[in-house]
Structure 1
Amino acid sequence: MKKIFLLTIIIGLFSSCSEKNEKFAMNATDYDAYLSENSQSLKSATEAKEFWSKRLDADTTGVGDIAPLASAYTSLFSTTGTIENLKIAEGLTKKGLQISANNKDGFARALALNYISQHRFKEAKQVLEESYANVSLKRDTELMLFDVSMELGEYEAAKNYLDKVKKPGDYNYLIRLSKWSDYRGDLDAAIKYMEEAKDIAVASGNNALKIWTYSNLGDYYGHAGRIKDSYTQYLKTLALQPDNYYVKKQLAWMAYAWENNSKEANRILDSISAHHKIPDYYLLKAEIAAFNDNPSEAKKYTDQFTEAVENQPDYGAMYNAYLIEIYAEDKPEKALALAENEISNRATPETYHLLAYAQLKAGHKEKALQTIETHVEGKTYEPMAQFHSALVYKANGKTEEAHRLKEELLSAGYELGPVIIKDVKTL
C-alpha cells in the first residue's frame, strides 16, 4: 500500500506545463497487454508459499523456513490485496523472532516492515529500537529507523539517522535522501537523487530494485508536471512486472485527471479490481462518478469503501485517513474522534490537516485555525493539506491567506483531480 491511497494520488501538474506535456496523450496500445496480466506475481508467491509450507515443521520450529514462508505470505498480500495474508506473515515473523537464536535482528526488521505496512508505526519503532540496542546490523536498522521516523513525523530523529547512513553513491542512502528532499519541498533534488538511484538499479540488473525505482520516479515526475516522463516510467515498470497493480492504478488516475477520460480510467480500474481486492479502488471510482455528475453512483462506491473497511478489523488504522475525510461530510464528530486517534498514532502535518478539516466540519473553526497555524502551516507542501488549510482560512475570515493558497492549488490540478479543483476555484 504506499504507498499507502487517498482520493488523490501523489502526482502534481503545474499550469505552466511544457509543450511536450500539452501534446502528450496516453495510448491504450502501450499498456493493454498488461491489463490482462494478473498471474505472474501471484503464481510466484503461491508456489513459494506451498514450497516453504511443506518444508516447515508441523510445530513451526523450522526457523530457517519461517522467514521465506512469511515473505511468501507478504507477497501474496501484495498480489491479492487480501489482508489476512499480511496478518499470517506477521504471526510467522513473530514466531521466528521468538525462537531464532542467530537471526533475531533480521526477524525484527521484517516484523517492523510488516507493522509499517499496517500503519502500526509506533510498534515498528519499538521493535527496531530494541533490535538496535542489541546485536544487529546497525546500518540496516538505521535505514529503517529513518523510514519509521518519517512516518511518525519525528523529523529531527529522521535527519540524525540519515546522517548516520550517509554514503554517496549508495542506493539505499539515495532513495532516502530523495524522500528527505521531497519532505523539505525540494522536488528537483528529490528527482535528482531518485534518478541516481535508478542508474544504480539498472546497472545492478536487479529487477526488484528497478521496479521499485521506476514506479517511484514515475510518481516524482508526475509531481513535477512531467506527465510524459511519468507515463514512460510506469510503462517500464509494467514491462518488468506486468501485474503491478499500483502502477496500473496510477495509469487509471492519469486517464482520469490528465485526459478527463473517465471511461478509460474505469476500464483500467475494472481490470485491476477483478483480481486485486483492496478497498482503494472504490474511492477512485467514487471520484470519477462525481466528476461525471452522478452523485448516487459516487455515494454507492463511497459506501462500498466504508463497508469494506469497517467490516474488516484486520485493516486497523490503514484506512483512517480516508475515513476521516468521508466521515467529515456527514458524521463530523466521528471524523473528529478518528482524527484525534490518528494524531496519537502519528503526529505529522498530514494527519494534523485532517484533524483541522474534521474540526472545521464539526463547527470548531477557531480550533481548526489553531491546528493549521501550529502544526501544518509551513510544514508540508502536500496539496490536500494546502486545500484544507485554505478552507480553514476562508472560514475564519483570513481571505488573503486563502487566496494565496488558491493560486498555488490551481497549479496542482493533476494531483488534486478535476473534482477538487472545482472546489478550489470557489475559494
Structure 2
Amino acid sequence: MKKIITIACIAVLFGCQEKAQKITDSKDYDPYLITNNTPSKNALHEEFEFWQKEFDNDSTNLVEMSRMSGIHTAMFGITGDISELKTSEKLIKKSHDVSARNKDSYLRSLAHNYVSQHRFKEAQVLLDSAYTYPDNHRETEMMLFDVAMELGEYNRADTLLGKIKDPKDFNYLIRLAKWSDHNGNLDAAIKYMEQAKQIAEERDNRGLKLWVYSNIGDFYGHAGRLQDSYNSYLKTLAIEPDNHYVKKQLAWMVYSSEKDTKEANRILDSVMVNHKAPDYYLLKGQMAEFDGDTSEANKEYEKFIKATENPDYGGMYNAYLIDLYADREPQEALKLAAREITNRATPETYQLLAYAQLKAGDKEAALKTIAEYVEGKTSEPKALFHSALIYKANGMEDKVAPLKEELMGAFYELGPVKAKEIEKL
C-alpha cells in the first residue's frame, strides 16, 4: 500500500492537535475563484463560432468535422456538459466513415472519447483495429496501455509499457509513473512524474505543464506532501485560471486536511457556476455528513443520484453510485457492481462488489470475493478499507489490525468521514 502519512494523521496518532497544520491560504487562490474569469471557455467559444460557420457551409468536409469534434470534446472538459462529448462522438464516427485515409487516427480519437465515457472495452476494440494499420503504432500502444490498466489487464499493460520504453519521453514517463503507483511504489511514481515535469518545463509546453502540475499535485497529496501538492495546484491555476479540476482538489484539501467545510464549499460553489458534474454534489454530501447535518447530506446525495440518471452518462458514475447505494439500497448496489465488473473486472470493481455483498448481509460471499479478486492485487486505500470491514465482519481480527495500521496513513485520501470509521475498526 502507498505509505501516506499526513500531518492530519500524525496529529491523530499522537494526540497533538485536533486539526492539521494549515497549508492553504485563500489569498493565494481567491483571484481564480472569480466566476467570470473564464479565459479557456472564452477562447474556445470564439474558435467554436468560427468553425461552426465553416461546418454549416459544408458539413461533410473532414477538416471542419475534425475541428468541431475536437472543440466539442474540449467544451466537455471545460463545462462538464456530457452532451458535448456525445456530439463529438457522432462527429468522429462520421469523419471515420467519410475519410479515405488516416483511419487509425479517427479510431484513436473515438477510443479517446469512449475512455472519457468509461466505455473501455469498446475503446480497446477500436485501438486493436487501429493497430492493424501500418502507421503510428506508438500512439496506439500508449492508448492501449491506458485502456489495459483500466480493464485490469496488467500483463498486457506491462508488455505494452515495454514496447514504448523511452526514459527521455514525457508520455512514457507518465505511464511508468502510473504503473509504479499501481504496484504500490508511490516514491517511484513521484520520481517519474518529476522527471516528466522537468521535460515539460524545459520545453515550456503549456499543455504538458498543465497536465503534469495537476497530476503530480495528486501524487504529492497521496504521499502526504500537502505543501508540495498545494504549490503544484497553484502553478496549474497560474497557467489556467479556470481549471475546475484543480479547484475541486483545493476544496478537498481544505476539507480533508483542514476540516474547513465552509471554505471548501465556497470554493466548490465557485466551480459549479461554470462546470456541471454530478460528483460535486457527492462531495458536498460528504462534507455535510462530516458536519453532522444528515438532512443536508441526504439532499446532496439525492441531487447526485438524480444528476447521474441522465442516460448520456452511461456507467461513468457507477463506482460512486455503488459506494453510495451500498448503505442505502444494497440490492441496487449489487446490480450496479455486477454491471461494472462486466465493463471492467479489476480489483477495484471487485472490492465494490464485496462491499455491496457485505451491506446486503452476505458477509461470507463478500469474504470470498475479497480473497479471490482483491487481496494482494491492489494497494488502493478504499479497497483496503472495505477489505478490513469484511474481515472484521467475519471475525478475522488478525487481518484487520495490520490494515488498520496502514489505513491510519490514508486519512487525507479517504477523507474525514472514512477516517472516523477507520478509527473504529
TM range (shorter): over 0.9
Give the aligned residue type for 2:224.
G
Matches for 1:361-376 after TM superposition, within 5 Å: 361-376=359-374
Show the 5 A alignment for 1:347-366. Answer: 347-366=345-364
Letter in 1 for 2:370: I
**2:343 and 2:207 mapped to 1: Cα distance?**
31
Shift of 1:16: 5.0
Instruction: Provide, for residues 132-180 of structure 1, a one-character-per-residue CA deviation record: whole Å limited to 9, x for no partner.
Output: 0123300000000000000000000001100000011101100000000
Query: Could you tell me the percent identity over the aligned residues?
Result: 56
Counterpart position of 2:66: 67
Tell me the amino acid that sits aligned with residue 123 of structure 2. A
Q: Which residue of structure 2 aligns with residue 5 of structure 1?
A: none
3-state SS in 2 of match to 1:363: coil
Supply the distance in 2 between the matched residues of 1:398 and 1:35 (Cα, whole angstroms).
48
Q: Report if the CA contact (8 A) 2:121-2:343 is conserved.
A: yes
* Aligned twin of 1:221: 220
Kindly indicate whether the alpha-carbon contact (under 8 Å) linking 1:339 and 1:355 is maintained by their aligned counterparts in 2.
Answer: yes
Task: Give 2:387's aligned residue.
Answer: 389
TM-score where L is the length of structure 1: 0.94
Alpha-carbon distance in 2 for matches of 1:314, 1:136:
33
Query: 1:243 is matched with which residue?
Result: 242
TM-score between both structures, scaled by the size of structure 2: 0.95
In structure 2, stretches of 5+ residues that fail to align are none
Which residue identity is paired with 1:46?
A: H
- 2:143 matched to which residue of 1? 144
Residue 295 (structure 1) shift: 0.3
**2:401 maps to 1:421:** no
Mapped pair 1:337 → 2:335: yes
In the alignment, is the contact (CA less than 8 A) between 2:79 and 2:276 conserved in 1?
A: yes
Query: What is the CA distance between 1:330 and its match in structure 2?
Result: 2.1
Q: What is the match of residue 322 of structure 1? A: 320
- CA drift of 1:12 comes to 4.9
Counterpart check, 1:123 vs 2:122? yes
Q: Which runs of 4+ in 1 moved over 3 A?
A: 10-17, 21-24
Q: How far does the alpha carbon of each residue in 1:27-77 deviate from its partner, in whole angstroms, 9 at most, with x for none?
A: 100000001154211112222222222222556210122111111001111
Equivalence map 1:198-237=2 (5 Å): 198-237=197-236
Distance 1:12 1:348 in 2: 23
Name whichever of 297-306 and 403-412 sits farther off: 403-412
Amino acid at match of 2:246: V
Secondary structure class of the residue paired with 1:46: helix
Q: 1:401 aligns with which of 386, 399, 402?
A: 399
Q: Per-residue deviation at 1:11?
A: 11
Q: Any unmatched runs of 5+ in structure 1? A: 1-9
Task: Return the alpha-carbon distance in structure 2 between the equivalents of residues 262 and 416 of structure 1.
Answer: 15
Instruction: Report if aligned partners of 1:178, 1:193 keep a CA contact under 8 Å in 2.
Output: yes
Give the Cα–Cα distance (whole angstroms) in 1 for the partners of residues 358 and 232 of structure 2. Answer: 39
Conserved 8 A contact 1:45-1:72: yes
Tell me the amino acid that sits aligned with residue 366 of structure 1.
E
Give the one of 361, 368, 379 matched to 2:377: 379
**Offset, 1:101:** 1.5
CA distance in 1 between partners of 2:63 and 2:401 (Å): 60
Alignment partners' CA distance in 1, 2:305 and 2:5 = 29
The residue type paired with residue 315 of structure 1 is Y
Distance 1:139 1:411 in 2: 38
Deviation digits for residues 85-134 of structure 1 (CA, Å, limit 9, x no counterpart): 00000100111111112221111111111000000000000000001012
